[in-house]
Amino acid sequence: MSDTLAQMSLKVLRNAKIPNNNSTPANNAITDIKQYLNQRAKSVWARRLFREYIILGSKSVLASIKTITLGSITIESGFDTDGRGRDAAFYEIGAVREGDNPLLPEDIGAINSVDPGIWASTTAPVHFINRGQSGIHLLGAYSANTTLSFWGKAGFQDLADAETWILGDSDALIEGATADMYTYWWEDHATAMKHEAKFENAIKLLVDAQEVQGASKRRIIPKMQIGLSSQVSYTSKTGV
C-alpha cells in the first residue's frame, strides 16, 4: 500500500540522514520535504494524461456563445472528487462532442491556407480551437441551445499529510524528494543523481504500466480534417 505524504516525508528524512528528533532543523527539513514530494508529484502529472486524471463534463451552450471557459463546464458525477493529488476541475480539454457527433479540433496554423472561410462560419458543422487553460473557442454556430460533452485532464492539487498519491507509486516520490534533499540541503550532486535515476526509472515503469493497460484495448482515432466538411472517418491503431 502506498505511503501517505507524512509517511513519505519521514522516509525521505531518513534517506537524507537527518535525525527525526523533533528539533528545529528536523522540522524544517520535513517542511521542505513535503514541498519537494508535492513538486515531484506535480511534475509527473504534467508529463501526460494518466487514466486517474481523466475527467468528464458537459455544458449547455447558447446559440450565441463562442467561447467556453473551463470553469463553466459542469463535472459529471463520479468525476467530481478532489483529493490524493487530484483537483476535480478541467485543466485542459481533450475532446468535445455534441451527442454522438465529435467536434473536430482545428489547427490555427492551417486554417488560413486550407479553408479561411471557417473563421466567419455562422452555421453547423461546428468546429473548435483549443485554447489550453483558457478553454475552447467555437467556429461555426448552433441555431438553438445545445448540450456539449467534454473529456480532458483534471488539475493537480497538493497532497495533504494523510493522503496517498492517486497514482500510487510513493517510492518514486520518495526517491525524487531524496534527490532534492541531497541537491539543495547537502549539495551532494553525485548522491542526488543516483536517487534521480531511481525516480526516473520508477516513473518510466509507471508510464509503461499505463500504456500496457491501454494497449490491451482497441484504440480508435479520427482522421483529422481541416475545414467545414462534416465527414469523419475513423481508423484503428491496431489496423483493424
Q: How far apart are CA 27 and CA 40, in angstroms?
A: 20
With respect to residue 229, please indicate whether it lies within any of the assigned structural domains. no
Residues 104 and 74 in one domain: yes
**Please, which residues have CB within 8 angstroms of residue 111's CB and are 6 or more apart in sequence?**
118, 119, 226
Q: How far apart are CA 43 and CA 55, in angstroms?
A: 19
Q: How far apart are CA 16 and CA 7, in angstroms?
A: 14
Write down how long the chain is: 240
Residue-wise pLDDT for 207-224, tens only, equals: 999 887 655 554 444 444
Residues 39 and 100 in one domain: no
Residues 56 and 115 in one domain: yes
Residues 58 and 147 in one domain: yes
Global model pTM greater than 0.75: yes
Q: What does pLDDT average to over the chain? A: 88
Residues 189 and 98 in one domain: no
With respect to residue 34, please indicate whether it lies within any of the assigned structural domains. yes
Residue-wise pLDDT for 117-166, tens only, equals: 777 776 776 889 999 999 999 988 888 899 999 999 999 999 999 999 99
C-alpha separations of 60 from 49, 68, 97, 131 in Å: 26, 10, 12, 19
With respect to residue 79, please indicate whether it lies within any of the assigned structural domains. yes
- Which of 122, 155, 188 is the last residue before a domain boundary? 155
Band the pLDDT of 240: cuts 50, 70, 90.
very low
Residue-wise pLDDT for 65-103, tens only, equals: 889 999 999 999 999 999 999 999 999 999 999 999 999
- Which of 155, 176, 192 is the last residue before a domain boundary? 155
Share of the chain above pLDDT 90, in %: 72
With respect to residue 127, please indicate whether it lies within any of the assigned structural domains. yes
Q: How far apart are CA 232 and CA 150, in angstroms?
A: 18
pLDDT reported for residue 236: 34
With respect to residue 222, please indicate whether it lies within any of the assigned structural domains. no
- How many structural domains comprise the chain? 2
State the cell numbers at 175: 526517491
Q: How far apart are CA 9 and CA 36, in angstroms?
A: 9
Residues 105 and 150 in one domain: yes
